[in-house]
């Protein structure tokens, strides 16, 4: 076998079972530890992943694992493997009970699912040289990152060593859209490797510097000539989809996707300075008499979110500063107690020139006022010396969600009623990624990283606006350099 899944031996003569198309070959030749092959539908992603898993089946110790979120979805992948693997390796046998292919060398490729996050423990104690996630945006970060611990080589006393790495495919959308985009799409342009440096504390003292690399290889249906020739009408099917879905599935856009709650969201860097037609803008120095709100959503093992908003005289809100209590991993909390959080809030308000000296109204998740089990979180934060106080926010979830929709709607002059300073990275990362709850289909999926969103809802519910945005006047600051005239 020549490193890729072509010219497979069948008896004595060789015939081509499957040959990678150019973009699939690009995916299959990447040397990075992690590689995401993603974007639009029908690009040949799943086929390439199945082929990639075969690369090391000549090594007896090789163990591969291919994952899909649910069992029914997995069966599609297994069906395709039956067609590909059986003809490429006539000696290979599929064991239906264990969902495992066994190859003549002794190598194995297993298929697995992870419907619930705790299912990841089904893989505890097992190890795999190759792990492939099909449709990575269906998985949470916890599920994906857990599998790093399962990715290691087995014993190979005399035989060849295996390569240990992770591959994934994805379409935009789904519960994992936000973290997948933040990990693979945002850090660098496509086909550009990103190297993450890690410092590991050693048990015997001292540290060791480590690095891991990853890359994003984009895919679109236009790369898959095999499909376009076999089914020319498929392009028309994609072209007929609703806008957000079409952008995602036909062109591989990661900014809009099916199931996205805040489809109105626009983040256009070329317009940050001008400040119209975009929700994200360059920071400016707001007048001192604008009203200032501090929103707060408490979290301990999940992140806590604090946001400072300023309201102009028309009632337009600007998120000017954020504080996010996380451990740097998606949806991982900083595990800080309320007094520590209060200290950090006080520090921000005393040191940030945008906030210093302003009267600030705090509004927070009403559950922090619960004093039924001792002193409430709100009381602990309001204690001296930090004295960070709040009043309880209104937790009408759907009304709050509608407020954010109304505020994100672009007014006539391209000005929405809420804009966000580009420095508020966690709001920008998490709010546009929110998707609908599969059961309560009108509401946001609360298993996602929704803390900035919740914090924002409490503030918006303090000054609700009506659905029709007021007719906006000409932008207040046509000159971006002259924005601080009140």
Ligand X SMILES: Nc1ncnc2c1ncn2[C@@H]1O[C@H](COP(=O)(O)OP(=O)(O)OP(=O)(O)O)[C@@H](O)[C@H]1O
Q: How far is the CB of 235 from ligand X (least distance, A)?
A: 13
**How many C-beta atoms lie closer than 10 Å to residue 11's C-beta?**
7
**How many C-beta atoms lie closer than 10 Å to residue 131's C-beta?**
25
How many angstroms separate the CA atoms of 29 and 36, rounded?
A: 13
Q: How far is the CB of 18 from ligand X (least distance, A)?
A: 5
Pair 298, 377: CB distance under 8 Å: yes
Distances, alpha carbon 186 to alpha carbons 51, 136, 296, 482, in Å: 27, 16, 27, 31
* Shorter beta-carbon distance to ligand X: residue 110 or 224: 224
Residue 421: name its binding partner from ligand X, Mg ion, none (Cβ under 5 to 8 Å by kind).
none
Maximum separation of any 2 CA atoms in the chain, in Å: 84
* Shorter beta-carbon distance to ligand X: residue 88 or 306: 88
Q: How far is the CB of 250 from Mg ion (least distance, A)?
A: 15
Q: How far is the CB of 253 from Mg ion (least distance, A)?
A: 18
Q: How far is the CB of 329 from ligand X (least distance, A)?
A: 27
Q: Which of 56, 171, 256, 419 binds ligand X (CB under 6 A)?
A: 171
Q: Of the ranges 12-20, 324-332, 462-470, 478-486, which one interacts with ligand X (CB under 6 A)?
A: 12-20
Vertex 438: Cα angle to 437 and 443 (nearest 5): 25
Q: Which of 4, 8, 17, 18 binds ligand X (CB under 6 A)?
A: 18
**How many C-beta atoms lie closer than 10 Å to residue 476's C-beta?**
16
Residue 185: name its binding partner from ligand X, Mg ion, none (Cβ under 5 to 8 Å by kind).
none
Q: Which residues of 265-288 are buried (b: 16+ CB within 10 A; e: fewer)?
A: bbeeeebbebbbebbbbbebebee
# of chain residues touching Mg ion (CB under 5 A)? 2
Strands (E), 179-221: 194-201, 207-219
* Shorter beta-carbon distance to Mg ion: residue 40 or 452: 40
Q: How far is the CB of 79 from ligand X (least distance, A)?
A: 11
**How many C-beta atoms lie closer than 10 Å to residue 318's C-beta?**
22
* Shorter beta-carbon distance to Mg ion: residue 46 or 472: 46
Q: How far is the CB of 49 from Mg ion (least distance, A)?
A: 8
> On the CB side of 363, how many CA atoms lie within 13 Å of its CA?
19
Kindly report the length of the chain: 486
How many angstroms separate the CA atoms of 253 and 171, rounded?
A: 9
Q: Which of 4, 8, 21, 248 binds ligand X (CB under 6 A)?
A: 21
Between the CA atoms of 343, 344, 348 and 350, what dihedral angle is there, to the nearest 10 degrees? Answer: 20
* Shorter beta-carbon distance to Mg ion: residue 46 or 137: 46
Comparing C-alpha atoms, which of 140, 168, 211, 165 is closest to residue 63? Answer: 165
How many angstroms separate the CA atoms of 175 and 436, rounded?
A: 9
Strands (E), 91-147: 93-95, 100-102, 108-113, 130-133
Residue 110: name its binding partner from Mg ion, ligand X, none (Cβ under 5 to 8 Å by kind).
none
Q: Of the ranges 36-44, 347-355, 415-423, 438-446, which one interacts with ligand X (CB under 6 A)?
A: 36-44
* Shorter beta-carbon distance to ligand X: residue 41 or 59: 41
Q: How far is the CB of 74 from ligand X (least distance, A)?
A: 13
How many angstroms separate the CA atoms of 219 and 27, rounded?
A: 9
Q: Which of residues 195-234 bind ligand X (CB under 6 A)?
A: 219, 224, 226-227
Q: Which of residues 40-59 bind ligand X (CB under 6 A)?
A: 41-47
* Shorter beta-carbon distance to Mg ion: residue 228 or 382: 228
Strand partners, 34: 166, 214
* Shorter beta-carbon distance to Mg ion: residue 136 or 459: 136
* Shorter beta-carbon distance to Mg ion: residue 46 or 430: 46
Q: Of the ranges 17-25, 256-264, 331-339, 395-403, which one interacts with ligand X (CB under 6 A)?
A: 17-25
Comparing C-alpha atoms, which of 57, 135, 175, 200 is closest to residue 445? Answer: 175
* Shorter beta-carbon distance to ligand X: residue 49 or 341: 49
Residue 43: name its binding partner from ligand X, Mg ion, none (Cβ under 5 to 8 Å by kind).
ligand X
# of chain residues touching ligand X (CB under 6 A)? 17
Q: Which of residues 37-66 bind Mg ion (CB under 5 A)?
A: 45-46
Main-chain phi, psi angles of 308, to 5 degrees: -110, 125
Residues that bind Mg ion (CB under 5 A): 45-46
Residues that bind ligand X (CB under 6 A): 18-21, 24, 41-47, 171, 219, 224, 226-227
């Amino acid at each position: 076998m020549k490193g890729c899944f072509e010219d497979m031996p069948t008896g004595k003569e060789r015939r081509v079972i499957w040959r990678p198309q150019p973009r699939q070959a690009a995916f299959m030749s990447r040397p990075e530890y992690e590689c995401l092959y993603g974007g639009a539908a029908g690009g040949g992603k799943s086929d390439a992943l199945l082929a990639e898993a075969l690369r090391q089946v000549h090594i007896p110790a090789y163990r591969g694992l291919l994952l899909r979120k649910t069992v029914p979805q997995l069966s599609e992948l297994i069906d395709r493997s039956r067609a590909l693997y059986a003809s490429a390796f006539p000696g290979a046998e599929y064991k239906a009970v264990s969902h495992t292919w066994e190859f003549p060398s002794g190598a194995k490729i297993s298929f697995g699912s992870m419907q619930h996050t705790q299912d990841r423990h089904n893989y505890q104690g097992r190890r795999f040289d190759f792990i492939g996630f099909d449709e990575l945006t269906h998985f949470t970060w916890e599920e994906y990152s857990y599998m790093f611990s399962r990715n290691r080589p087995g014993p190979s006393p005399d035989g060849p060593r295996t390569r240990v790495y992770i591959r994934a495919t994805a379409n935009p959308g789904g519960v994992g859209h936000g973290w997948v985009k933040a990990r693979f799409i945002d850090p660098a342009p496509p086909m550009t490797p990103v190297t993450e440096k890690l410092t590991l504390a050693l048990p015997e003292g001292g540290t060791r510097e480590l690095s891991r690399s990853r890359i994003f290889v984009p895919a679109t249906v236009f790369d898959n000539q095999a499909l376009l020739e076999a089914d020319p009408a498929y392009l028309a099917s994609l072209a007929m989809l609703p806008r957000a879905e079409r952008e995602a599935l036909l062109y591989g856009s990661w900014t809009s996707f099916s199931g996205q709650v805040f489809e109105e969201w626009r983040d256009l860097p070329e317009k940050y300075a001008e400040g119209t037609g975009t929700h994200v803008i360059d920071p400016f120095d707001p007048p001192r008499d604008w009203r200032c709100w501090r929103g707060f959503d408490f979290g301990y093992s999940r992140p806590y979110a604090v946001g400072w908003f300023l309201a102009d005289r028309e009632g337009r809100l600007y998120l000017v500063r954020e504080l996010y209590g996380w451990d740097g991993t998606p949806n991982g909390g900083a595990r800080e107690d309320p007094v520590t959080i209060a200290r950090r809030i006080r520090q921000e308000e005393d040191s940030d020139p945008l906030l210093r000296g302003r009267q600030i109204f705090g509004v927070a998740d009403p559950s922090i006022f619960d004093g039924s089990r001792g002193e409430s979180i709100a009381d602990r934060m309001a204690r001296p010396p930090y004295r960070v106080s709040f009043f309880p926010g209104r937790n009408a979830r759907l009304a709050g969600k509608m407020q954010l929709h109304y505020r994100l709607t672009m007014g006539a002059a391209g000005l929405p009623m809420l804009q966000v300073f580009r420095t508020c990275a966690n709001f920008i990362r998490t709010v546009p990624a929110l998707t609908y709850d599969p059961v309560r289909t009108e509401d946001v999926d609360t298993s996602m990283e929704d803390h900035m969103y919740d914090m924002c809802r409490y503030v918006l519910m303090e000054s609700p606006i009506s659905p029709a945005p007021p007719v906006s006047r000409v932008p207040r600051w046509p000159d971006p350099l002259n924005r601080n005239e009140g």
